Structure 1
Amino acid sequence: MLGALLALGTLPTPAHAAADRDERSWTVREPGRQPAGISAVVDLDAADGTLTLAARRGTATVLEPAPLGIVTKDADLTTGLRFTSTATRQVTEHYTMTTGKQLRRTARMTESRFSFTGAGGARLDLLVRVADDGIAYRYVLPGKGDITVVREASAFRLPGTAQAWLAPYTPYYEGEYKPATAADAGDGSYAYPSLFQVGDTYALITESDIDGRYSGSHLVHEKGSGRYGVELADGAAVTSAGPLTTPWRTVVLGDLATVTESTLVDDLAAPSRIGDTSWIRPGKVAWSWLDGFAAAQRSLSTQQRFVDYSAAHGWEYTLVDDGWKTTKWMPELTEYAHRRGVGVLVWVHWTDLDTAAERAEFLPRLKKWGVAGLKIDFMDSDSQDRFRWYDEILRDTAREKLLVNFHGASVPKGIQRTWPHVLTVEAVRGAEYGNVPASHVTALPFTRGVVSSTDYTPMAFQFGTRTVSDAAELGLSVVFESGLQHFAGSIRAYQDRPELERFLEQVPTVWDESRLLSGRPGENATFARRQDGRWFLGSVSAGSSGTQDVSLDFLGGGRWLAEVIRDGDDGLVRETRTVTRRDTLHVPTAEHGGFAAVVCKATAGRETCDRPVTRLPLSSLTVDPSKAEVDSGASVDIAGRFAVEQSGPASDVTLSLRAPGGWEVKGDAPQADQLPTGKDLSGKWTVSVPQDAREGGHDVVVSAEYSAPGGRVLRVDRTVRVFVSPPGVDYVSNLPFASERNGWGPVERDQANGERDASDGAPLSIHDTTYDKGLGMHADAEVEVELQGGYRKFTASVGVDDEVGDRGSVTFEVLADGVVVATTKVLTGTDAAQALDVDVSGVQKLTLRVKDGGDGVDYDHADWADARLTT
């Protein structure tokens, strides 16, 4: 079993809970009753029967008394309460995670249960747990039948002058953390986790152990007060079958090291619901989204190249993001990746999986293809209904043994303990925003990063405006713990930084131990994390250049080898030195800079901490042209080049070309016994098209086959799409436009509209039929073409492109010299293509127009497929 529970029984009288004589005040202390330890104080007001809770660290009050209680449809359990009984036990739990800041964990907590009776005999139990790193409380409503919760009275009260680091609440948790004081923070809602400093103690407020029995919540605040109330999502009532146990209202308490190293949120969560976790494999991921967006996801060759990069550097996965569903090559990609030892993760919108029927069809299909896991996006809700969906999707993905990465998601609340195949979660303003302030980056390790794996997606050097230095960006691979560490760089950006490539080959994604070495929210953060005898260090700062002094007293005895990667005058540099635990590293840092480092035991003859990495050649196969249009009976010249860029050699290399049956091929079949890094092999062929060749597209395939280390025989294909044109036809996509306008991005030729840039669209596809020729538009749009009376007929098949699914609604119009001569009904993503056949004899100017279907232009991707003019 992944998690084992040892609960040392409930005691009939309070242990570590002291009640005064009239039994209206109780103190619950952390196990061991340390004088400077943490305690929670529960008070029952004798006058009105209201409850409050306060928290102390030693003799200092950190959280001032704040209200407790809950209101249901049937009972107000916030006032008029009478004490009934109390019992205390010691809870000890041992469990193992699949990811996180520390894999093997022991949680020790004192738990006190206080029972109260309200008006009409309604019962409220309050559970309070206190550990050496914080406190938590939850309500238990023991009644049977459905229980509807209207609201909670729960709140936290800080001194008004307490320093705070807060992010505005959104249900996808991508707000920017900014400093304030507890009282001066503006009116409004704030996201978990929220961090406060009271004296020398920090308090991180969040929640834990939530599922579909309840809804999520957030904090609400009125300026001028230190009170932060708990508000349920959407302000909606929560209904569950009794007895009802609410989530833990959780506060991590201590110095910054205690807070950042805390596992309290996981400690409070339900144990793992997965018995066999041997299939759950964390790892590093090549993510191509920020190097081409949707266009990169629709290209098999681009995705194969990212697979090759992972294989060349020992990364475990590659992620194909939004856009792949308009393609048909996913099984081919997963097979290609499998042969290279790389897993494929795929992006899906949560609405693709929001019904049992969709999950029953889609998830087994992905598993059959060989997909390793899912990035599920855009849940954007903390409602009870959404958490019920989380319960369902996690059960179903676990059954299919599919890994999960949630984006557009609620901040994790112990989910990685309960469902250990959740290897990371976004819920952060991360690198895909393109201009993340260094002050926010350095606040995250003390806030969002405390509670779970964080999918920040570092290394996006080619994207946006850089706010931290290269060395600091590299340090984020350690600073941000993530079971799936999605690196967002381009292959060229990695290759331009060889020291970065080398470090990323070595850095793990799971840890035996994590320590904060130094830092302060919004200013700097330096972490050390250990795995299997090596320590990895990461540091990031917001501010001017200087020198970072890092004590090495966390190391064991003896001599150690330290390799530091920092910013140099001409890029990243690596410096190696021998150190002991008595030494301090002095690392020069750039503005908004940092560093990365690896430290291992120094032994005789050891020059590096690097360990062997299994590498396959990073190769490229290019063809010229990538597509061609020819007449029947004509020929086309095709060239292919196979090059080894990194991690060579490739052995027994052969280039070949295959054409459709009946087509003639002239050319050689070049071979090479071995191609080391930096060498290539080229071939040229002439392909002749028969006179009776079918009109339309044909595939001519150039292949490179080679042997790689380990005896694997690998092959890569590149397809040249040869389109055979019929006589007497001109395709509109081949003609110059007299004018054009488009709702999003440019009008695309021979591909669907990708909305953003030129040539970023998918193949034209309507109702599962793919077309080689045509125009891709987005309403409202229009193209004008000069005909000068030279054509007899215009024909096309029109409809909404498949890439928007069943969404989108458009109408098509054809104008001849400004007069509408053909129009369609409103077509949606569910409609088949509609044929247009228009007489254009003598027409001087042809206009093709797309209008929205009367409900706005969202998803209005319109295709003029096979749009042709007949002479």
Structure 2
Amino acid sequence: MKFIYLSLCFLTFCAFTINAQEVLSPNKKIKVIISSKKTSDDSSYGQIYFRILYKNKLGYIEVMPNSPLGISRDDQQFTDNLKLVNESKAKQANQKYEMICGKQKVCNNLGTEKMFKYVNSNNQPLNITFRVYNDGVAFRYEFTNKSNSLVNITDENTTYVFPKATNRWLQSYTESYEDFYPFSTTGKTADNKQEWGFPALFKVNNNPVWILISEANISANNCAAKLNNSKNSDEYKVNYASPRDDFKQTGIKTNLPWNSQWHTLIIGELSDIVESTLITDVSEPNKLKETNWIKPGAVSWIYWANNHGSKDYQKVVAYTDLAVDMKWPYLLIDWEWDAMGNGGNIIDAVNYAKSKGIKPMMWYNSGTSWLEPTPVDHLLTAEKRATEFAWLNKIGVYGIKVDFFAGDQQDMMKYCIDILKDAAKYRLMVNFHGATVPRGWARTYPNLMTTEAVYGAEWYNNKPILTSKAAEHNTTLPFTRNVIGSMDYTPVTFSNSQHPHITSFAHELALSVVFESGFQHFADKPEAYNSLPPDPKEFLKNVPVSWDITKLIEGYPGEKIIMARKKENQWYLGGLNGKDELKTLKINFDFLDKGIFELKIIRDGKDDTSFDTEIMQIQKGDSLDVKCLPRGGFVAVLQKYDAVKANKQN
């Protein structure tokens, strides 16, 4: 009887399914099937779905069941009333490009692209383009007809469907993206809002296949989106940013033709997730003619230990001197610099930094959200930005940090892009805080060095919750938030702020490698860094912030991670124990080239405030067990032994 029932279901499904197409990744490991289900027996129109298969040793397995596609405008619906009229031949996207900062210097935009042309029941056109990569899938919508007036794109039917019991690490949606990614099998929130921010990580059922969902290539004609699973906990619908009090618009207002953002799904093993460059792969290429002025680097940062420190000239001087001592190229002068006193003003502070060979940067309030900290309203219009940026050039400032954006609405996306474009005209690098997560702008406008959008170390100043959650949180971020772009966590703190941290000193040191950020803001006070033993102090003087290659050696969200990153001829390793118990992390050196390497490892000492350093020789195929304290960690540097020997002789 059961067999008969299943057969009838299969026949019913086939009867209502038409126009099934496939798109395969270049290595044939990922397959996307696009199909249509009739809305009735006598209709040639229907609902469009996509499903994703992933090939393992036993063949293809389904990792995403049939998931709806579609989009709505205020004048037309393109949801369950679509008919396929044409499809393009599969073509290969194959483009190498370089990133100035990020997890990988040379990237390859390699995927199979296919476009499907539909019309709705009013004969209005909609194109859906799929690109299938070796490490994921991207798709977007396109309206190709022209309009003489603005069209309001109000909603999407796009939904990501998962099998029941799928493991998930999701952040409840907040406009600042400053929250945790707790593990769940149910997809429920404590407040029952059921809204989730990007990126969203899933481990599909009992299969060793992971999917990280986000989006990329947001333009001024897009808003950012979020996910909602209020109707079904296993079905995550794309929702556009909600209106806000001073911006009543729902969705997007634009002329046609128009492209949506790319919807992205990074798919594979955990290493595929962590190492993926899919977000920048699908984003627009670099639009800046000259980029030799863009220099990633470490930053001396005053706010964490001294909340209102930028008002005090003497404290700014102390952090400038710290940058000199630690060989960090940059100093960030944070909020309230316009009220600086105690021996000097902002011009004096900038001049002092430059006299010491340190490049100063300055904080700005975006003027759109929380308006208490000054300076406010220096950037809101193109005219104001031109005046302010010209002044920054005149006094010798190299970058800006812009904070407190109002949300993910279309006007905020346009504002961010306008800031990047105008800042580039004046050779100013940019750090966005209180802003949306990275969505590929770092490729298009490479003067975007980093973005906050993370529950980072500054929260030790605000609430006690990070004290107990930091270790687990720090071992989750490399698999979630930091995958999609540079992350300004403001790491590596050894002293305590308002609320203490209980991660070990070696754990904190390892954050400089495990977390990637084009500007790495080291957050502690000068005396904390000056009192470090010679080996960890020297490590912090030299650790890079941009990387040629990134490899995940070992890890699992919330439990542990070992990250290996290469810069020129050196490998840097960072390992974290996310648990409140002793743990041994195993380094497998299969990622190395042939030859003998010198390994210098700095790990937990006898207690959580001490270090232990050891130097040894290793080679490809070796492994090393590293014992970590509860919430502990380690860093290591590897270099070919011949190169080390030559350096010592010189």
Q: Shared fold by TM > 0.5?
A: yes
Which secondary structure state, in structure 1, belongs to the residue aligned with residue 38 of structure 2?
coil
Structure 2 CA distance for aligned equivalents of residues 45 and 468 of structure 1 = 53
State how many pairs are aligned.
588
1:342 Cα deviation from its structure 2 partner? 1.1
Q: 1:79 to 1:23 in 2, by over 3 A?
A: closer
User: Hey, what does 1:347 align to over in structure 2?
Assistant: 363
Aligned residue identity for 1:502? E
Identify which of 18, 29, 39 aligns with 2:31.
Answer: 39
Q: 1:60 to 1:184 in 2, by over 3 A?
A: farther
1:549 Cα deviation from its structure 2 partner? 1.6
Structure 2 CA distance for aligned equivalents of residues 183 and 574 of structure 1 = 43
Which secondary structure state, in structure 2, belongs to the residue aligned with residue 191 of structure 1?
strand
User: Hey, what does 1:449 align to over in structure 2?
Assistant: 482
Pair 1:204 & 2:212 matched:
yes
User: Hey, what does 2:456 align to over in structure 1?
Assistant: 430
Pair 1:458 & 2:491 matched:
yes
User: Hey, what does 1:491 align to over in structure 2?
Assistant: 526
Structure 2 CA distance for aligned equivalents of residues 582 and 96 of structure 1 = 30
Deviations 1:232-251 (A, max 9, x none): 00151311111010001110
User: Hey, what does 1:676 align to over in structure 2?
Assistant: none
- Between structures 1 and 2, the one with greater helix share: 2
Which secondary structure state, in structure 1, belongs to the residue aligned with residue 590 of structure 2?
coil
Aligned residue identity for 1:309? L
User: Hey, what does 2:371 align to over in structure 1?
Assistant: none
1:569 Cα deviation from its structure 2 partner? 2.1
Which secondary structure state, in structure 2, belongs to the residue aligned with residue 204 of structure 1?
strand
Q: Kindly indicate whether the alpha-carbon contact (under 8 Å) linking 2:490 and 2:523 is maintained by their aligned counterparts in 1.
A: yes
User: Hey, what does 2:11 align to over in structure 1?
Assistant: none
Q: Kindly indicate whether the alpha-carbon contact (under 8 Å) linking 2:32 and 2:50 is maintained by their aligned counterparts in 1.
A: yes
Identify which of 247, 265, 276 aligns with 1:251.
Answer: 265
Which secondary structure state, in structure 2, belongs to the residue aligned with residue 289 of structure 1?
coil
Structure 1 CA distance for aligned equivalents of residues 292 and 235 of structure 2 = 45
User: Hey, what does 2:576 align to over in structure 1?
Assistant: 540
Which secondary structure state, in structure 1, belongs to the residue aligned with residue 473 of structure 2?
helix
Aligned residue identity for 1:363? F
Q: 1:164 to 1:604 in 2, by over 3 A?
A: closer
> When the two structures are superposed, what TM-score results if normalisation uses the length of structure 2?
0.88
User: Hey, what does 2:246 align to over in structure 1?
Assistant: none
Aligned residue identity for 2:91? R
Structure 2 CA distance for aligned equivalents of residues 169 and 152 of structure 1 = 18
Pair 1:556 & 2:570 matched:
no
1:459 Cα deviation from its structure 2 partner? 1.7
Q: Kindly indicate whether the alpha-carbon contact (under 8 Å) linking 1:405 and 1:424 is maintained by their aligned counterparts in 2.
A: yes
Q: Kindly indicate whether the alpha-carbon contact (under 8 Å) linking 1:561 and 1:608 is maintained by their aligned counterparts in 2.
A: no
Q: Kindly indicate whether the alpha-carbon contact (under 8 Å) linking 1:156 and 1:227 is maintained by their aligned counterparts in 2.
A: yes
Structure 2 CA distance for aligned equivalents of residues 465 and 506 of structure 1 = 27
Pair 1:469 & 2:504 matched:
yes
Structure 1 CA distance for aligned equivalents of residues 434 and 633 of structure 2 = 29
Percent of aligned pairs with the same amino acid: 33
Aligned residue identity for 1:350? S
Which secondary structure state, in structure 2, belongs to the residue aligned with residue 212 of structure 1?
coil
- Between structures 1 and 2, the one with greater strand share: 1
Q: 1:403 to 1:65 in 2, by over 3 A?
A: same
Aligned residue identity for 2:83? R
1:22 Cα deviation from its structure 2 partner? 9.1
User: Hey, what does 1:387 align to over in structure 2?
Assistant: 413
Pair 1:526 & 2:532 matched:
no
User: Hey, what does 1:805 align to over in structure 2?
Assistant: none
Structure 2 CA distance for aligned equivalents of residues 492 and 403 of structure 1 = 29
Deviations 1:234-271 (A, max 9, x none): 15131111101000111000000000000001001111
Q: 1:73 to 1:297 in 2, by over 3 A?
A: same
Structure 2 CA distance for aligned equivalents of residues 131 and 251 of structure 1 = 10
Q: How does 1:147-546 map to 2 (within 5 A)?
A: 147-184=151-188, 187=192, 188-198=194-204, 199-222=207-230, 225-234=233-242, 236-294=250-308, 296-327=309-340, 329-351=345-367, 352=377, 353-434=379-460, 435-436=465-466, 437=469, 438-462=471-495, 463=497, 464-498=499-533, 499-543=535-579, 544-546=581-583
1:582 Cα deviation from its structure 2 partner? 2.1
User: Hey, what does 1:54 align to over in structure 2?
Assistant: 51
> When the two structures are superposed, what TM-score results if normalisation uses the length of structure 1?
0.66
Q: Kindly indicate whether the alpha-carbon contact (under 8 Å) linking 2:17 and 2:37 is maintained by their aligned counterparts in 1.
A: no
Structure 1 CA distance for aligned equivalents of residues 17 and 571 of structure 2 = 54
Structure 2 CA distance for aligned equivalents of residues 308 and 400 of structure 1 = 27
Aligned residue identity for 1:520? Y
Aligned residue identity for 1:159? P
Q: 1:445 to 1:223 in 2, by over 3 A?
A: farther
Which secondary structure state, in structure 1, belongs to the residue aligned with residue 645 of structure 2?
coil
1:573 Cα deviation from its structure 2 partner? 2.3
Q: 1:526 to 1:97 in 2, by over 3 A?
A: same
Q: Kindly indicate whether the alpha-carbon contact (under 8 Å) linking 2:350 and 2:397 is maintained by their aligned counterparts in 1.
A: yes
Q: RCO (CA 8 Å, sep 6+): is it higher in 1 or 2?
A: 2
Q: 1:332 to 1:538 in 2, by over 3 A?
A: same
Deviations 1:458-513 (A, max 9, x none): 12222232132110111110000111000001111112212321111121011110
Q: 1:185 to 1:40 in 2, by over 3 A?
A: farther
Deviations 1:770-806 (A, max 9, x none): xxxxxxxxxxxxxxxxxxxxxxxxxxxxxxxxxxxxx
Pair 1:27 & 2:31 matched:
no
Aligned residue identity for 1:267? D
1:185 Cα deviation from its structure 2 partner? 5.5
Q: 1:390 to 1:465 in 2, by over 3 A?
A: same
Deviations 1:420-448 (A, max 9, x none): 00111100000011152121111100000
1:581 Cα deviation from its structure 2 partner? 1.3
Gaps of 5+ in 2: 1-14, 41-45, 244-249, 368-376
1:126 Cα deviation from its structure 2 partner? 0.4
1:585 Cα deviation from its structure 2 partner? 1.7
Deviations 1:289-334 (A, max 9, x none): 112111x211222112211221222111011111111136222222
Q: 1:182 to 1:259 in 2, by over 3 A?
A: farther
Which secondary structure state, in structure 2, belongs to the residue aligned with residue 26 of structure 1?
strand
Structure 1 CA distance for aligned equivalents of residues 236 and 17 of structure 2 = 30
Structure 2 CA distance for aligned equivalents of residues 573 and 63 of structure 1 = 46
Structure 2 CA distance for aligned equivalents of residues 339 and 168 of structure 1 = 46
Aligned residue identity for 1:376? V
1:356 Cα deviation from its structure 2 partner? 2.0
Q: Kindly indicate whether the alpha-carbon contact (under 8 Å) linking 1:112 and 1:127 is maintained by their aligned counterparts in 2.
A: yes
Deviations 1:730-788 (A, max 9, x none): xxxxxxxxxxxxxxxxxxxxxxxxxxxxxxxxxxxxxxxxxxxxxxxxxxxxxxxxxxx
Deviations 1:126-177 (A, max 9, x none): 0111000100111001121232111110110011210000111011100111
Q: 1:419 to 1:517 in 2, by over 3 A?
A: same
1:286 Cα deviation from its structure 2 partner? 0.7
Structure 1 CA distance for aligned equivalents of residues 363 and 188 of structure 2 = 41
Q: How does 1:812-823 map to 2 (within 5 A)?
A: none
Which secondary structure state, in structure 1, belongs to the residue aligned with residue 394 of structure 2?
helix
1:50 Cα deviation from its structure 2 partner? 0.4
User: Hey, what does 1:597 align to over in structure 2?
Assistant: 636
Q: 1:578 to 1:607 in 2, by over 3 A?
A: farther
Structure 1 CA distance for aligned equivalents of residues 94 and 109 of structure 2 = 6
User: Hey, what does 1:67 align to over in structure 2?
Assistant: 68
Structure 1 CA distance for aligned equivalents of residues 115 and 297 of structure 2 = 41
Aligned residue identity for 2:142? V
Q: Kindly indicate whether the alpha-carbon contact (under 8 Å) linking 1:517 and 1:551 is maintained by their aligned counterparts in 2.
A: yes
Structure 1 CA distance for aligned equivalents of residues 146 and 452 of structure 2 = 37
Structure 1 CA distance for aligned equivalents of residues 188 and 314 of structure 2 = 54
Structure 2 CA distance for aligned equivalents of residues 190 and 380 of structure 1 = 18
Structure 1 CA distance for aligned equivalents of residues 482 and 142 of structure 2 = 29
1:605 Cα deviation from its structure 2 partner? 7.2
